[in-house]
Structure 1
Amino acid sequence: MHLPPPAADRSPYTGYTRAHWESAADALLAAAAPYADRSRALYHFPGDRVSWAGRLSDGLEGYARTLLLAAFRRDETVLERYAEGLAAGTAGVWPRIEDRGQPLVEAASIALALRLTRESLWDRLDDAVRQRAAAWLADALTAEAWPCNWELFPVTVGGFLESVGYEAAASRKAVERGLERIERWYVGDGWYTDGDGRKFDYYNGWAMHLYPVVHAWLADDSDLLSVYGPRLSAHLADYARLFGADGAPMHQGRSLTYRFATTAPLWLGALTGHTPLSPGETRRLASGALRYFLERGAVDDRGLLTLGWHGPDERVLQGYSGPASPYWASKGFLGLLLPPDHEVWTATEEPGPAEREDAVTPLTAPNWLLQTTCSDGLVRLHNHGSEDVRYDPYYTRLAYSTVTTPSASYDNSVIVGGDPGRTGIVPLGAGTTWAASRHTAAGGTAEVTTLVVASGATEIRAHVVTGAPAGTPVRITGWAPAEGVRTELLPVTGIGAELTVETDPSGLPSVTGRTGEAVAVTGRTGEASGGGAGADPALFVTLARLTAEPEPAPLERTVTVEVCEAHELHLSWSDGGRECHLLPLGPGREGKTCRFPSSPAEEFPA
């Protein structure tokens, strides 16, 4: 992909300007064009993969998602090609929109694109084509959606059809119904779950916020915008912290192959005026993400977006991922709706959160703890509240980062009795330096309560295992290895005569011990008897670190950990800070409640 020379004066961090975004959009559209069929209604990209929706739906996906990019670019010559495809597609080429079918998703992209380009595309179509297109889209008004972000696809279609006067009452009803349904998933502080449960990921930005805010903005509905705009602004205050200094978004959640779609909510805040970010910071974060992927193989030698993260990578795909799925990255070009003289394009780039300071930030709604170090620009996400309804390595691990990927060896996990599962995650809160949760393990027979405390790049991880018979092996793993970073995991204390440090062939560090034996502690020593499900809990405490610093201080010197009476965790940091945390030892333990306060320094024992 040939881009303009970097503009170091206006963009000292990324070198990217509006011209770079325009060139990238033009290149992606040009590369996709040869893969349209004769009707120009279907785009079949090369490769053997077919999504579970089938090849015909995959071809529609190719049309819809590249049309969305063309709509943001607003190139009338390119839009003429898509006008031909629309005429053919609605004349019988495209599959019908049915309950919970993939065409419902693609209908939303088509409707949004038509709404954005009404004068240059929709209004120039023959009346017969407009009627056919409206009739095809209208099936989305009554189609049953999956109970998640899919509820917003009828909203998007309904908003467009109402704007052109087609079945206005039914369109308005679809909009109201969808917005009402997502309300039950709003949990406050700018965060939604993607359906029932606790599924927190990038769908917050590129779906749950995007569609309602864009609809309200395009409809010029001040009442709706007064609801959804402040939510977006609140979300962006947290969201901006999910990008590393190299531009990498957090490697967590589903549909990661959409890549720089992560920039859509950043642009949306600037577009609607609902953002806490400065213009220079907005562009720095967005351009950083685009550059990050373009420089790491996201586009192949044919100019096509690949199915993966950097280059092709099946680990980040789902069954619904087809050859054209990566083109939902088109949402990242939302910023091109801002005119060239908008301050987001003219301001000088400013550093993002990961470049400004070390920070430990609790996110209350998802019960996450974000840990950022400006010396290496890494961001780590400690997950104590997000999970999918099924096991998913991108939801269920204890931690994620902007530089590591979940490993097949179960990084950032507590493996009880050989079972690496982490289900039934219950958030227990997050504070200034800590987050905690409880989950079931060992096939549901054991329970693990975990506390993480962070400062700088150092983490203290304490795990209390209950319900596991005496002698049950417990393996605790650290960060997965990654190029250019150091991963460390050291034992502090645990149930077991001796904790063993191991490294698997992939380089994943782990610490192993067993339940039901003596507690080895620094300072005072307690006892934990053996037994079955009713036995005293087993406690395991480790130090962990993920860092890109070339010569970091020895991990064991960054903090002193003392476990008193096997339930109080006292921390003394090398910078003089001190904390005390009370560990839960299970129900029925008098005087030992399940709480995780960050105590003031004066409460720390002398």
Structure 2
Amino acid sequence: MTYDPTSANPLAGNPLKTRADVEKALHDLFNPLLPYFSEGNARVRLSGTAAHFDRIAADVEGFARPLWGLTPLGAGGGSFDHWDKYREGLANGMDPDHPEYWGEVRHTDQRMVEMAAIGFTLKMLPQHVWEPQSDRAKANIARYLTDLRQYDYAPNNWKFFRILVDLGLEECGVDFDRSLTEKYLEELDGFYLGDGWYRDGNVRRIDHYIPFAMHFYGLIYAKLAKPGDKRAEAYRERAREFAKDIRHWFDEDGGTLAFGRSLTYRFACGGIWGALAFADIDVLPWGEIKGQFMRHLRWWSNLPIADRDGVLSVGYGYPNLLMSENYNSAGSPYWALKAFLPLALPEDHPFWQAEETPAERPSGAVALKHPGMVMQHTKGNVVALSSGQQNYQMRHGAEKYAKFVYSSRYGFSVESDERAYRAGAFDGMLGLSDDGRHYRVRESNETALIAGDNLYAKWKPWADVTVETWLIPAGDWHIRVHRIDTPRPLHGTEGGFAILRADLNADRCEEGEGVAEAHGETDVSRIRDLAGKRKGRAQRTLPNTNLIVSKAIVPQLTGEIEPGTTVLMTAATAVPAGADLADPPQAPDLAALEEKFARDGISVSAIEVAERF
């Protein structure tokens, strides 16, 4: 083999044990960008791919997003040889007479997002990017930032971006209308659900934007706000509650739950642990917080997440435009550098001095009522049974939010052809077809309830078809029960977990009545029919559909669904090769399940918004 794709990963080979290791990782991630700075240093263009916003805004992403890591580095006393590029880039990018001017902002604009990192830098490091500027450059920077903040920001985590710009302007002595700051702080409070959980706007989704945006920015604000600020302690207290829950989105090896949109930001998902340290919140032992942070970086160090030149790719476990959002430009992945916030802390801080401790692994399932998830910790993996969320706006929104089950080790798959029913992956999903070519899956729920550690949802793939789904944890397994009412015949395909496919079709597969197993190079995935007459098959999925591995195999159950009422019961699991595994669970009592939800079921918070489109 002439090329090992993991070797291009700037984190590869770094032990990631100490503060010095983390500082080296940041330099190694940034240095591949140097050849792509423009002549005036105001733009960084990394590829010819596009996002829905204009090319200049994409270049500003490439320029600004590394500051999420570089600014803490500088604040913590770390060396960085290229502050001159950022000084010149800021001056030129905000100068309307310069060829590299970033352009005026007159509406909700991607530039608003990127100015948050610049506001953070102005607040933390004015000696590098503000004080050395000429009076003319200072006037241009002040004008640009004060002008854009008067326009409406998107009604979600974007509202924090104005707050961060305001912190920078205040630090630099620039006058501005503070009533707009207070307005957005109040509106952000409106997204708070309780128990440490937010939603990302008035939408039916609770995803990684809660740890790597809502709490991340809130904790920066709490650290940098003036003494006595009324919201700073509120943000701290919410984070204390949230930390006890969000740790269940991380597995024992550092992987995080692959769920929702914007997963190309990769180790930004671990930014919550760095933000807790930055804000001096020791709600968990420092050894546990540090362990979660370091394991997460190490997990990413072993994946081919960069192109040959070391530039981070759009994708998740490997370069993959198929799973990307329409707002992902080539510079987008550098939001991952938000994970480096702890570099603002000195070497003697308790976070850096602590000895890593293993992740807590609960003995049973953990219910999280706000996102509508039941978490299961298994060997090298965390699994989320999920009901209550939806996203019609994002590409592959159903796959990113509405599957029955998500995983850290096995990720999830997006479908690449809505007219290729027989080729679908349907991992963690039930695909239904009435013509053998097109298909429907769960996209939203009419009802979503949680009762203890069980979930219930009612959904309609067509106007005349109703499906009720119950999800039940069962050790290393989980159970799905589907009651389908249809006036016409359908065909159904239900998938287990997708695992890495072996080369030369060397996977060992079992396909039979009511059973399918796939034994790949590294893992074993199983699915069992507990009630029904379905056949098992091992589906070799279309390439580049799974987020973590580019070639996958998934066990499936397939069969006809006759008109009337049909009940399907499924058990699924996946474990690393060689791990012990219990026998499949028994079929549950459906009547007892219905009684349980009638007695104890409460609505999942995520569904309690009438989202409009």
Q: TM-score, normalised by structure 1?
A: 0.83
Q: CA deviation at 1:174?
A: 2.3
Number of the residue aligned with 1:480? 498
Task: Provide the rounded CA distance (Å) in 2 between the counterparts of 1:2 and 1:263.
Answer: 17
Number of the residue aligned with 2:295? 288
Spell out, residue by residue over 1:232-285, the C-alpha distance to the aligned partner (whole angstroms, 9 max, x if none): 122221111212222222111111111111121111112223352221111211
Number of the residue aligned with 2:28? 27
**Aligned to 1:501, which of 533, 536, 543?**
536
Task: State whether structure 2 residue 594 is matched by structure 1 residue 582.
Answer: yes
CA contact (8 A) 1:107 1:140 kept: no
Task: State whether structure 2 residue 279 is matched by structure 1 residue 272.
Answer: yes
Q: Give, as a single letter, the amino acid of the residue that structure 2 aligns with 1:86.
A: L
Number of the residue aligned with 1:138? 146
**Aligned to 1:175, which of 171, 181, 190?**
181
Q: CA deviation at 1:145?
A: 1.6
Counting only pairs closer than 5 Å after superposition, residues 391-402 of structure 1 correspond to structure 2 as 391-402=397-408
CA contact (8 A) 1:439 1:447 kept: yes
Q: For residues 539 and 56 of structure 1, do their structure 2 counterparts lie closer, same or farther at Cα, with a shift above 3 Å needed?
A: same
Q: CA deviation at 1:17?
A: 0.9
- SS of corresponding position for 1:561: coil
**Aligned to 2:349, which of 331, 342, 345?**
342
Spell out, residue by residue over 1:496-534, the C-alpha distance to the aligned partner (whole angstroms, 9 max, x if none): xx3332333333222234455xxxxxxxxxxxxx65xxx
Q: Which runs of 5+ in 1 are unaligned?
A: 7-13, 517-529, 532-536, 570-580, 585-591, 598-606
Number of the residue aligned with 1:573? none
Spell out, residue by residue over 1:393-441, the C-alpha distance to the aligned partner (whole angstroms, 9 max, x if none): 1112111101223332222112334533313325533344322222221
Counting only pairs closer than 5 Å after superposition, residues 82-161 of structure 1 correspond to structure 2 as 82-92=86-96, 93-161=101-169
Q: For residues 121 and 505 of structure 1, do their structure 2 counterparts lie closer, same or farther at Cα, with a shift above 3 Å needed?
A: closer
Task: Provide the rounded CA distance (Å) in 2 between the counterparts of 1:61 and 1:2.
Answer: 20
- Among the aligned pairs, what percent are the same residue? 26
Number of the residue aligned with 1:552? 580
- SS of corresponding position for 1:321: coil
CA contact (8 A) 2:404 2:471 kept: no
Q: Give, as a single letter, the amino acid of the residue that structure 2 aligns with 1:469.
A: P
Task: Provide the rounded CA distance (Å) in 2 between the counterparts of 1:28 and 1:568.
Answer: 55
Q: Give, as a single letter, the amino acid of the residue that structure 1 aligns with 2:330.
A: P
CA contact (8 A) 1:2 1:23 kept: no
Number of the residue aligned with 2:68? 68
Number of the residue aligned with 1:604? none
CA contact (8 A) 1:255 1:316 kept: no
Task: Provide the rounded CA distance (Å) in 2 between the counterparts of 1:5 and 1:144.
Answer: 44
**Aligned to 1:364, which of 358, 363, 369?**
369
Q: Give, as a single letter, the amino acid of the residue that structure 1 aligns with 2:583.
A: L
Number of the residue aligned with 1:434? 454
Task: Provide the rounded CA distance (Å) in 2 between the counterparts of 1:216 and 1:72.
Answer: 16
Number of the residue aligned with 2:384? 381
Task: State whether structure 2 residue 580 is matched by structure 1 residue 561.
Answer: no
Spell out, residue by residue over 1:203-247, the C-alpha distance to the aligned partner (whole angstroms, 9 max, x if none): 111211122331232123442112111111222211112122222
CA contact (8 A) 1:433 1:455 kept: no
Mean CA deviation greater in 377-386 or 155-164: 155-164
Task: Provide the rounded CA distance (Å) in 2 between the counterparts of 1:504 and 1:101.
Answer: 42
Task: Provide the rounded CA distance (Å) in 1 between the counterparts of 2:476 and 2:556.
Answer: 18
Task: Provide the rounded CA distance (Å) in 2 between the counterparts of 1:413 and 1:492.
Answer: 16
- SS of corresponding position for 1:124: coil
Q: Give, as a single letter, the amino acid of the residue that structure 2 aligns with 1:451.
A: W
CA contact (8 A) 1:197 1:389 kept: no
Q: CA deviation at 1:137?
A: 0.9
Task: Provide the rounded CA distance (Å) in 2 between the counterparts of 1:457 and 1:4.
Answer: 31
Task: Provide the rounded CA distance (Å) in 2 between the counterparts of 1:318 and 1:499.
Answer: 35
Spell out, residue by residue over 1:121-172, the C-alpha distance to the aligned partner (whole angstroms, 9 max, x if none): 322322321221011111232112222212221122123223333233x1x2
Task: Provide the rounded CA distance (Å) in 2 between the counterparts of 1:270 and 1:64.
Answer: 23
Task: State whether structure 2 residue 190 is matched by structure 1 residue 184.
Answer: yes
Q: For residues 475 and 596 of structure 1, do their structure 2 counterparts lie closer, same or farther at Cα, with a shift above 3 Å needed?
A: farther
Higher RCO (CA < 8 A, seq sep 6+): 2
Task: Provide the rounded CA distance (Å) in 2 between the counterparts of 1:277 and 1:511.
Answer: 42
Task: State whether structure 2 residue 407 is matched by structure 1 residue 406.
Answer: no
Task: Provide the rounded CA distance (Å) in 1 between the counterparts of 2:246 and 2:91.
Answer: 40
- SS of corresponding position for 1:423: coil
- SS of corresponding position for 1:251: coil
Number of the residue aligned with 1:424? 444
Task: Provide the rounded CA distance (Å) in 1 between the counterparts of 2:246 and 2:598.
Answer: 33
Mean CA deviation greater in 315-324 or 157-166: 157-166
- SS of corresponding position for 2:445: strand
Spell out, residue by residue over 1:291-332, the C-alpha distance to the aligned partner (whole angstroms, 9 max, x if none): 222221223332221211233111331111111111111111
Q: Give, as a single letter, the amino acid of the residue that structure 2 aligns with 1:509.
A: P
Q: Give, as a single letter, the amino acid of the residue that structure 2 aligns with 1:34.
A: P
CA contact (8 A) 1:371 1:380 kept: yes
Task: State whether structure 2 residue 485 is matched by structure 1 residue 457.
Answer: no
Q: CA deviation at 1:538?
A: 2.8
Task: State whether structure 2 residue 487 is matched by structure 1 residue 469.
Answer: yes
CA contact (8 A) 2:122 2:171 kept: no
Q: Give, as a single letter, the amino acid of the residue that structure 1 aligns with 2:428.
A: N
Spell out, residue by residue over 1:56-78, the C-alpha distance to the aligned partner (whole angstroms, 9 max, x if none): 11111111112332212113532
Spell out, residue by residue over 1:35-63, the C-alpha distance to the aligned partner (whole angstroms, 9 max, x if none): 11110111111x22122212211111111
CA contact (8 A) 1:86 1:133 kept: yes
- SS of corresponding position for 1:349: coil
- SS of corresponding position for 1:487: strand
Task: Provide the rounded CA distance (Å) in 2 between the counterparts of 1:83 and 1:76.
Answer: 13
Task: Provide the rounded CA distance (Å) in 1 between the counterparts of 2:10 and 2:566.
Answer: 58
Number of the residue aligned with 1:542? 570
CA contact (8 A) 1:361 1:432 kept: no
Number of the residue aligned with 1:216? 222
Number of the residue aligned with 1:511? 557
Q: Which runs of 5+ in 2 are unaligned?
A: 1-8, 416-424, 501-520, 542-552, 603-613
- SS of corresponding position for 1:330: helix
Task: Provide the rounded CA distance (Å) in 1 between the counterparts of 2:369 and 2:109.
Answer: 34
Task: Provide the rounded CA distance (Å) in 2 between the counterparts of 1:219 and 1:233.
Answer: 18
Task: Provide the rounded CA distance (Å) in 2 between the counterparts of 1:410 and 1:568.
Answer: 28
Q: CA deviation at 1:596?
A: 5.5
Larger Rg, first or second structure (1 or 2):
1
Q: Give, as a single letter, the amino acid of the residue that structure 2 aligns with 1:129.
A: A
Task: Provide the rounded CA distance (Å) in 2 between the counterparts of 1:463 and 1:4.
Answer: 44
- SS of corresponding position for 1:341: coil
Task: Provide the rounded CA distance (Å) in 1 between the counterparts of 2:583 and 2:38.
Answer: 58
Task: Provide the rounded CA distance (Å) in 2 between the counterparts of 1:551 and 1:27.
Answer: 36
